[in-house]
Structure 1
Amino acid sequence: MKQIENIVFEFKKYVLDFKFDAGTSRGVLKKKETYLVKAYSKLFPQIVGYGEAGPLPKLSLDDVSDFEEKIKIACQELTQRKVLLSKDKIFEFVQSHIPENFPSLRFAFETALLDLLHGGERMVFDTEFVRERRPIPINGLIWMGDRGFMLEQIDKKLEEGYDCLKMKIGAIDFDQECELLEYIRSKYDQNTITLRVDANGAFAASEALGKLQRLSQYDLHSIEQPIRQGQFEEMATLCAETPIPIALDEELIGIHSLASKESLLKSIKPQYIILKPTLVGGFKSCDEWINLAEGLDIGWWITSALESNIGLNAIAQYTATFDSDMPQGLGTGQLYFNNFESPLLIETGTLVYDQTSKWEI
């Protein structure tokens, strides 16, 4: 275990430009503001760890107007601190110094320190994903938009070899969305293509079960967050009666303590949970969710949340520490014109780490 003294934290704002208007249930995104956190020792300034803090607009707990000031204060207060460089000690350090209502900051500082621990070479976790190019299966994401735009994406993802598609729904007419699902199923059955849908809480609680019953004819793997978060009784009833497995997503935001996490899972009893380190408070928090879920026989998978390749790389490497064949939600790195060059590549519906490619930050 190494102890680094005189550690320095710095940050820099970066604006990512989408290649298209990214439609979500909370509006259309054209740009994404994010912040890179650097960690290094004054004794070895050439060895630098990087992390990323990028709150999601209108969703993240730390989507606040003075976020840049908050990250500035965090970097100033933590600079010159002594840090024991081991995974567990890093997790303890971050949780004790970064407030729980700044989950993307926790994720950024965890990542920067873990990168520093492994020599500042963007290895956040030592896995076969990095060392041996072991692929991670991922879902192809179909963004919201008009029918023609969504149809174009579906055809492209199928041509690219994905065997798991995730379609965002709730933005256009429900009948048209069902037609798009019918289009996929007319070409590929559930044994060939796995279909997921994500409603981002778009259904009213009173109509959700009826819509789920209609969607069930398309042999869906799951539906994410069918109703708005915070409706615990309604969600519990829906999970008990649903014809389609339900995955909680936004529902996990703002649930911090281990006891609160356990209470939520035991009361709602979802079929799956979806973990986004940026939104739920980093890797330590994800570990807690996963341990609880597995103890309750609840499935899970991990998803990025519009990070640049810095954040995506960290999430992918964390995912690779688990032995899971479940397709993950790790394909957002291709969304931006000005993403950082990295060894991350998408090949036939999988994410790989190509050691022959270099990082450019």
Structure 2
Amino acid sequence: MTDDDPRGEDRISAVRRRAFALDLTRPLGTADGDIRRREGFVVTVERGGGDGGRSAVGLGEATPLPGWTESREACAAAIDEVDVQNGSASAPAALDAASTPAARHGVSLALADAAARDAGERLADRLADEADVDATPADAVPVNATVGDGSPDETAAEAERAVDAGFDCLKLKVGAREVDADVERVRAVRDAVGDAVALRADANGAWDRETARRALDALAPFDLAYVEQPLSAADLDGLAALREGDDRSSGVRIAADESVAARGVDAVLDAGAADAVVLKPMALGGPDRALAAALRARRAGVDPVVTTTIDAVVARTAAVHVAAAIPDVSPCGLATGALLDEDLAPDPCPIADGSLPVPSGAGLAGRAFDELRLS
């Protein structure tokens, strides 16, 4: 299915949304402030059914996060404006990924879920087929554990607990303290978990160029997989300078996260601003767009990593399918369900030994979400 060639069976005959609000277990600090609650919409779409044909019902989730996507109000309005009276074309043609990515995510995911369920195939397989991925999607996706800010001893203890739980890739939050303090935290973790565990550091755009160069030099001995967003989202030239030429600090790889949302994947790739890109399907406008961005990154020699905007279980499950469709995907930031105090439904992708299983049922997860889909 393409944006400009919607097939008749992919036309929307009905779209509904139901609001939800989920509290986090504790506030999550980001560059844009603390996240305490996630509010969004369960989206149900009916496709096909015209001229006596068979219809199929799919489920999606639209959970906007201001700063990354549109507002909740704009998201609701965009979903409500999908024209079903005139047999509106598929969501990619009906919704704007640039201005209302969460709305497009919700409707396009529901449409893809309906199509995959109708075909009796996993969402990952359908996504891979439509993107012409020349590999069978995986049955499990490796994930990283996120280790929050704390003293060196606290950070090391949290890292050890994650490794004991089966994780072999850890992402450490840095940037809230002075560089020397963060270096000691990273040193404590490396000493605690050994060399076999991959370490990533996420600065959330906290540093200026001079501080970032100093930090990368100081962190180089700890063999980090990459440092995520060391500079502000808009500073693609600065990110590129950290990677190349005389300004390259130490060979430490750079990942772009906030820059992807602020400037777009293509701008990040064109600027040579990253060795890895962190892709959030909700912020990119849907699973199809996230997979397309991942494949573009791969062709440019940049490693794609899939993560979430602290979404509910429907969108998290979809992100697992996206990651599964990327051949040999690196550990992804999808182990975020525990950040929510409650969820929309039981999680069909329970973490085991640092990985998430890809649901084997048709569509998102077989019948796991039937109660949500039919409500």
TM class by shorter chain equals 0.7 to 0.9
TM-score under structure 2 length normalisation: 0.81
Q: Per-residue deviation at 1:335?
A: 1.5
Cα distance in 1 for residues equivalent to 2:333 and 2:339: 13
Q: Per-residue deviation at 1:37?
A: 1.4
Q: Against the structure 1 CA distance between its residues 56 and 139, is the aligned structure 2 distance closer, same or farther, given a 3 Å change threshold?
A: same
1:226 equivalent among 205, 226, 230: 230
Match for residue 11 of structure 1? Answer: 17
2:60 equivalent among 43, 48, 51: 51
- In structure 1, stretches of 5+ residues that fail to align are 85-89
Percent identity over the alignment is 23
Q: Quick check: 115-124 or 100-109, which moved more?
A: 115-124
Match for residue 253 of structure 2? Answer: 245
Match for residue 156 of structure 1? Answer: 161
Cα distance in 1 for residues equivalent to 2:137 and 2:298: 28
Q: Against the structure 1 CA distance between its residues 115 and 325, is the aligned structure 2 distance closer, same or farther, given a 3 Å change threshold?
A: closer
1:94 paired with 2:92, answer yes
Match for residue 364 of structure 2? Answer: none
Within-5 A mapping of 1:181-196? 181-190=186-195, 192-196=196-200
Within-5 A mapping of 1:114-153? 114-119=112-117, 123-126=122-125, 134-144=139-149, 150-153=155-158
CA contact (8 A) 2:239 2:254 kept: no
Q: Per-residue deviation at 1:46?
A: 9.4
- In structure 2, stretches of 5+ residues that fail to align are 1-6, 129-135, 362-366
1:268 paired with 2:272, answer yes
CA contact (8 A) 2:175 2:206 kept: yes
Q: Write the letter of the residue equivalent to 1:308.
A: A
Q: What are the Cα deviations for residues 166-205 of structure 1, in whole angstroms up to 9, with x where unaligned?
A: 1121224443332221122113333x10000111101112
Q: Write the letter of the residue equivalent to 2:202.
A: D
Aligned partner of residue 345 in structure 1, secondary structure: coil
1:333 paired with 2:320, answer no
1:20 equivalent among 6, 22, 26: 26
Cα distance in 1 for residues equivalent to 2:115 and 2:104: 16
Aligned partner of residue 71 in structure 1, secondary structure: helix
Q: Write the letter of the residue equivalent to 2:313.
A: N
Aligned partner of residue 195 in structure 1, secondary structure: strand
Q: Against the structure 1 CA distance between its residues 143 and 14, is the aligned structure 2 distance closer, same or farther, given a 3 Å change threshold?
A: farther
1:358 paired with 2:373, answer no
Q: Per-residue deviation at 1:212?
A: 0.8
Q: Per-residue deviation at 1:338?
A: 1.3
1:321 paired with 2:325, answer yes
Match for residue 87 of structure 1? Answer: none
1:32 paired with 2:38, answer yes
CA contact (8 A) 2:295 2:326 kept: no
Q: What are the Cα deviations for residues 47-104 of structure 1, in whole angstroms up to 9, with x where unaligned?
A: 53121122224x2141x3xx325423433433235367xxxxx5xx414533522112
Aligned partner of residue 326 in structure 1, secondary structure: coil
CA contact (8 A) 1:4 1:83 kept: no
Q: What are the Cα deviations for residues 283-313 of structure 1, in whole angstroms up to 9, with x where unaligned?
A: 3433443343223222222112211110011
The count of corresponding residues between Structure 1 and Structure 2 is: 344
Aligned partner of residue 21 in structure 1, secondary structure: strand
Q: Write the letter of the residue equivalent to 1:348.
A: D
Q: Against the structure 1 CA distance between its residues 140 and 47, is the aligned structure 2 distance closer, same or farther, given a 3 Å change threshold?
A: same
Cα distance in 2 for residues equivalent to 1:301 and 1:353: 16
CA contact (8 A) 1:61 1:254 kept: no
CA contact (8 A) 1:144 1:171 kept: yes
What RMSD over aligned residues (CA atoms) do the two structures have, in Å? 3.1
Q: Against the structure 1 CA distance between its residues 5 and 137, is the aligned structure 2 distance closer, same or farther, given a 3 Å change threshold?
A: closer
Aligned partner of residue 327 in structure 2, secondary structure: coil
Q: Per-residue deviation at 1:20?
A: 2.2
